[in-house]
Chain A
């Protein structure tokens, strides 16, 4: 049961974003730019950053949602599984592994990001903007994970829910649906 009254048909973050829309708007805009805007990182790679941070913050809802989105965008499920177990052994480029290390350090604390990890990412070909966006995406999911669990929002147990949500995140990104969410009412 959430700690504050939220709409039953909007579990996880969606209910919170509908609860206070004036703060939801810049949160959605920031997320849309970082995860779906122009970037030299693919949408799937950026969803992996969201996945590793949410997993390490033990946020069930966000981990399942972004695993689903990443799986759809990447067209395979091995990457998300490996990123959560040990990203060093994931079937990813050296650059992406270095960026996931930076994301994992950011999850711990901003101060935990080491100059060595940054240097290794650069040596593996990461641009300054890619490193910047990795830190900011990781920091943003530290916000989301706390918001979602700090108010005890519902994380549905049905895997089908996250498949649907992952598809919505692929097709519509992070913008509020123009028609709102009433159509999700059962």
Chain B
């Protein structure tokens, strides 16, 4: 199971994958690919986007897992994770990453909130098309994961029956 490690790092997803393995498999593969697959964004930058969106979605269980991963990846600069959650604009990160996080924050609200000006600004600070794409995709995927984990959290409070997949 090459994906078991990342599944462990996404709190909540692992138990949901056990609940319904057939959907758990592509979900885990998707998380693995956006966070660890080929991308011009570093692992740390991607974890930061995942943590920031989860934080804004008030999905604290998921947030904590990705904030911890981002801290590990930034090592001595791990303090910047808390700075980003307070306000990416004042965090000790590159201008490019600030704008990518702004785009991720807008995606958390609505895809329609992302404007041409945001993308132009990101590109003027060196962001590639692929970096803009991967930022929007990671933010979108975590809007799914956060809803899934939090929505099912309330569900399991009601349901006590065991559900078998298929």
Which one of B66-74, B81-89, B146-154 is at the A interface?
Answer: B146-154
A185 is an interface residue with CB less than 8 A from chain B? no
Closest CB of chain A to B105's CB: distance in Å?
11
Which residues of A114-140 have CB atoms within 8 Å of chain B's CB atoms?
114-115, 118-119, 122, 127-129, 131-133, 135-136, 138-140
Interface residue count on the B side (C-beta < 8 Å) = 54
CB contact under 8 A between A143 and B144, given known A3-B116, A22-B38: yes
Distance in angstroms between the alpha carbons of A113 and B150 in the assembled complex:
8
Closest CB of chain A to B112's CB: distance in Å?
5
A133: B residues at CB distance < 8 A: 20, 23
Secondary structure class of chain A's binding surface, majority of residues: helix
A138: B residues at CB distance < 8 A: 147, 151
- B140 near A150 with CB under 8 A, answer yes
CB contact under 8 A between A57 and B137, given known A23-B37, A110-B148, A129-B20: no
A1-22 CB contact bits vs B (8 Å, 1 = yes)?
A: 0011100000000001001101
Distance in angstroms between the alpha carbons of A145 and B114 in the assembled complex:
12
Closest CB of chain A to B142's CB: distance in Å?
9
Distance in angstroms between the alpha carbons of A175 and B119 in the assembled complex:
30
Closest CB of chain A to B72's CB: distance in Å?
24
User: Of B59, B119, B143, B153, which is within 8 A of A143 by CB?
Assistant: B143
Which residues of A1-56 have CB atoms within 8 Å of chain B's CB atoms?
3-5, 16, 19-20, 22-23, 25-27, 29-30, 33-34, 37-38
14 further A-B contacts with Cβ under 8 Å, apart from A29-B26, A111-B151, A147-B136, are A23-B30, A23-B137, A37-B22, A110-B57, A113-B151, A119-B158, A122-B159, A127-B163, A128-B161, A135-B147, A139-B147, A140-B144, A147-B140, A149-B111
